[in-house]
Amino acid sequence: MTGIENTITARLERNGEHFEILVDPKKGYEYKTGQKKDFSNVLAFDEVFKDANKGERATGAAMKKVLGTDNIMDAAKYILDHGELQLTTDQRRKAVAEKRIKIIALIAATVMDPKSKAPHPPARIELALDEARFHVDAFKRAEEQVDAAIESIREIIPISTEKIKVAVKVPAQFAPKCYGLLKEYGIQKEEWGNDGSITVVLEMPVAMEAAFYDRLNSQTSGQTQTKRL
């Protein structure tokens, strides 16, 4: 059986009641962040506690009243879904570092310096986030944190979030292969021709424009028509 020292705790407080479960560190984190879809083997002990350190179990009546069920697995899943997971120090450090790197990359691809009309270097963005003391959430997807990160550094470095619209026509022989790429850049309109070609209108940050043309040309050998709208 898993020892309590090899577990992490998920906690939920609601309506004056306190619930805790002990979960496998790796599987618990993967489930909480969406990497693991099913709840199997996440629990280290098939128990719902009022205080795990004291071994004090939650009553069925309290679980039923607050969580809507006295079934241990259903209650435990609810606690992990809606409660707070206490990561190990190493887990939290690693998760924050990974999210931070991704947030910086997304900002670099999304905004530009309004004076130079060029993207900010990642190192400059990183320093600005440090100065702004931006808090990276270990559990939220990087994409969900980008807007808040941009707002936090807006007064530290000059930022433009200007967007452009681009019309693109891709010949039939490249259209199926390119469709996934086009979707990445925000399809506003699309029309498939009788010949199998596709014409789309995309909306993207100005900072992404050059990279988009490079990727599109590499997939189509330059055989596309593009026009800024």
| Predicted confidence (pLDDT) per residue in 155-169, tens digit | 999 998 888 899 999
The confidence score (pLDDT) of residue 1 equals: 42
Full set of structural domains in the chain with CATH:
7-85 (3.30.1250.10), 89-153 (1.10.10.900), 163-228 (3.30.70.240)
| Global pTM value | 0.65
At residue 16, the 3 state secondary structure works out as coil
Across the chain, what does the average pLDDT equal? Answer: 91
Residues 6+ apart with CB under 8 A from 25: 6, 7, 8, 87, 88, 91
The confidence score (pLDDT) of residue 35 equals: 87
| Predicted confidence (pLDDT) per residue in 171-217, tens digit | 999 999 999 999 988 899 999 999 999 999 998 888 788 888 999 99
- Whether 199 contacts 168, CB under 8 Å: yes
Residues 6+ apart with CB under 8 A from 96: 136, 138
At residue 38, the 3 state secondary structure works out as coil
Task: State the DSSP code for 184.
Answer: H
